Amino acid sequence: MKGFPVICILAIFSFCYFSLFPGSKWRFYCPGCDQRIIHPHTIIHPSHHRLVNIPREDKTNISHILFGIGGTASMWSRRRHYCELWWKPNVTRGFVWLDNEPALGDEPWPQTSPPYKVSADTARFKYTSWYGSRSAVRIARIVKENFQLGLDNVRWFVMGDDDTVFFTENLVNVLNKYDYKQMYYIGGISESVEQDVEHSYTMGYGGAGFAITLPAELVRILDGCIDRYAELYGSDQKIGGCMSEIGVPITKELGFHQLDIRGSPYGLLSAHPLAPLVSLHHLDYLQPLFPGMDRVASIRKLMNAYKYDSGRALQQSFCYDLTRNWSVSVSWGYTVQLYPFLVRAKDLNTPLQTFLTWRTWSQEPFTFNTRVLRMEPCERPVIFYFDGAQELGNGNTVTWYRRPQSMQWKQCDRNNFAAAYMVKSFNVSATYLNSRLWTKAPRRQCCEIMGGSDHQDGHVRVRIRGCNRWESVTPP
């Protein structure tokens, strides 16, 4: 399907999804084109587990992280809603660094935003990227300005953009895998190969966010790096240059998402790699995560699931119902895909391509494999979206997933699909994914469809659990 026209990849998903909502803002425009022509995360590189035995009292918690958010005074009122989705006043520590004093008038700075600071003047630094913005210099220096505040008990300096959404419990768990008394530089790269080629395969992309321990050595040379790497476009590239001088490589963690893609992130988030969800970015440039909802409400909805079992958010499990030859793929807290035929595990595990590359809006390449989402309705899964969650006690939760109302995408008229279209919801039960599981050898959890094929009420029950010995998703 190499010749598959570009527009189809976007349209193919928008149709079943957005044509239903005439008020949807999605258009074929390119809001980021005048900004950064670049940018995260990779599914191909295994994360470098550096496991240490950390005594319980020494465990990193949220208070040990100092966030540095790159913001601008004029944009903050339009960007703050993303930050405020994850920022917890008096719990998360850090600052949004602005270019100027905000023009607040009589209004106080919002209590729900991180406190702000105004960055020092950077006029003396060199910046020669012909297509970039000098603000990259200021943003690169945030880690230094944060460090020089000299705050107590800070182990990790985490940088993010004003439109980065962090999943802080998962961020803490991921950082806990690493010894904060050694030098680390942790993050993710761009999904779009064109971005990695243009900018770098070996830096933590700023929008995905990155975490640094012991920044004193970085801080010592940072101002010099800014001049030495004057031609580099982005703040994150300048940091990457500095880290290279120190000799500390990026440790890639698969849950940091730069989301350098166009269209819908659905395919990627419904086949998330086996790693905790740490960040999402570029949400203003992507279709909302949920049909019929705006972007911010969509993230709030995902977070509503996340808060029930943070480590499980977006974790994929799949199983067959062999009485009907169904394949069911769950992305916990987000979506269930029902295929009324048997799909091989490797295919279920491969993201459906509901997106294009960031800069050139091309079909490929990405830093991971994708599957074509076919126009033909008989080859598409029936899709259900997260609708609610409940705690059942003893660490058990149930989440439910429904089909969007008035699905207008052409339906498949084969018999096997008729039964699939009868399903109204999936009810998925699971037990808290213990955060310690992430420090073990990764293995996707298994699931089973409960109650045989007797789903006359249209509600299918799925149970997610650890796999049994010898258990695999293998067709008979």
Ligand X SMILES: *[C@@H]1O[C@H](CO)[C@@H](O)[C@H](O)[C@H]1NC(C)=O
Which of 45, 49, 324, 374 binds ligand X (CB under 6 A)? It is 324
Min separation Cβ 405 and ligand X, Å = 29
Tokens of 398: 């149930």
Min separation Cβ 163 and ligand X, Å: 23
Q: Which of 172, 271 has the CB closer to ligand X?
A: 172
With beta carbons less than 8 A apart as the criterion, state whether 140 and 239 touch.
yes
Strands 396-402 and 446-450: unpaired
- The contact pattern for ligand X, residues 177-206, with x = CB under 6 A and - = no contact, is ------------------------------
Residue 309 and residue 333: Cα distance in Å, rounded?
Answer: 9
Q: Cβ closer to ligand X: 2 or 56?
A: 56
Handedness of CA 84, 86, 91, 92 (dihedral sign): negative
- Binding mask of the shown chain, residues 36 to 75, with x at each position contacting ligand X by CB under 6 A: -------------------------xxx------------
- What is the size of the binding site for ligand X (CB under 6 A)? 8
Which parts of 73-192 fold into alpha helices (H)? Answer: 76-86, 135-140, 142-147, 168-175
Minimum distance from CB of 63 to ligand X (Å)? 4
Q: How far apart are CA 89 and CA 73, in angstroms?
A: 20
Q: What SS3 class is residue 97?
A: strand
465 binds ligand X (CB under 6 A): no
Q: Which is nearer to ligand X, 63 or 133 (CB)?
A: 63
What proportions of the chain, in percent to the nearest 5, are helix, strand and coil?
Answer: 25, 20, 55
Complex with ligand X: residue 21 or 341, whichever CB lies closer: 341
CB of 89 to ligand X, least distance (A): 4
Q: Specify the residue, 113 or 316, whose C-beta has the smaller distance to ligand X.
A: 113
Q: Could you tell me the smallest distance in angstroms from the CB atom of residue 111 to ligand X?
A: 5
| Closest to ligand X by CB, 261 or 473 | 473
C-beta of 326: minimal distance to ligand X in Å?
9
Least separation in angstroms between CB 57 and ligand X: 7
- 89 lies in the binding site for ligand X (CB under 6 A): yes
Q: What is the closest distance, in whole angstroms, from the C-beta atom of residue 266 to ligand X in the complex?
A: 28
Please identify, using beta-carbon distances, which residue of 120 and 422 lies nearer to ligand X: 422
- C-beta closer to ligand X: residue 220 or 344: 344
- Shortest distance, CB of residue 269 to ligand X, whole angstroms? 29
Q: Of 235 and 329, which has the nearer Cβ to ligand X?
A: 329
2, 3, 5, 90: which one binds ligand X (CB under 6 A): 90
Q: How far is the CB of 476 from ligand X (least distance, A)?
A: 7
Q: Which is nearer to ligand X, 341 or 368 (CB)?
A: 341
Strands (DSSP E) along 30-147, which ranges? 65-70, 93-98, 116-118
Q: Closer to ligand X at the Cβ: 53 or 111?
A: 111
| 51/335 Cα distance (integer angstroms) | 32
- Which uninterrupted H or E stretch holds 12? helix 6-15
Please give the Cα distance from 168 to 61 (Å, whole number).
10
Please tell me whether residue 453 binds ligand X under the rule CB under 6 A. Answer: no
Say if residues 261 and 355 touch (Cβ distance below 8 Å): yes
> Is residue 41 a contact partner of residue 191, using CB atoms and an 8 Å limit?
yes
Question: What Rg value do the Cα atoms of the chain yield, rounded?
Answer: 23
Distance CA 364, CA 88 (A): 38
Residue 461: exposure state from Cβ atoms within 10 A (0-12, 13-18, ≥19): middle
Q: Scanning residues 218 to 277, which ones bind ligand X (CB under 6 A)?
A: none
Task: Compute the distance between CA of residue 473 and CA of residue 476 in angstroms, rounded to an integer.
Answer: 10
For the chain, helix (H) and strand (E) counts, in that order, are 12, 19
Q: How far is the CB of 380 from ligand X (least distance, A)?
A: 19
Q: Does residue 46 have a cis bond before it (omega within 30 degrees)?
A: no
Question: Does residue 325 interact with ligand X by CB under 6 A?
Answer: yes
Give the whole-angstrom CA distance, residue 385 versus residue 402. 5
In the block, tokens 């076919």 appear at 374
CA-to-CA distance for 195 and 39, rounded, in angstroms?
A: 5
Residue from the set 34, 106, 111, 150 that interacts with ligand X by CB under 6 A: 111
Taking CB under 6 A as the rule, which mask of x and - marks residues 269-298 in contact with ligand X?
------------------------------
Residues in contact with ligand X by the rule CB under 6 A? 61-63, 89-90, 111, 324-325
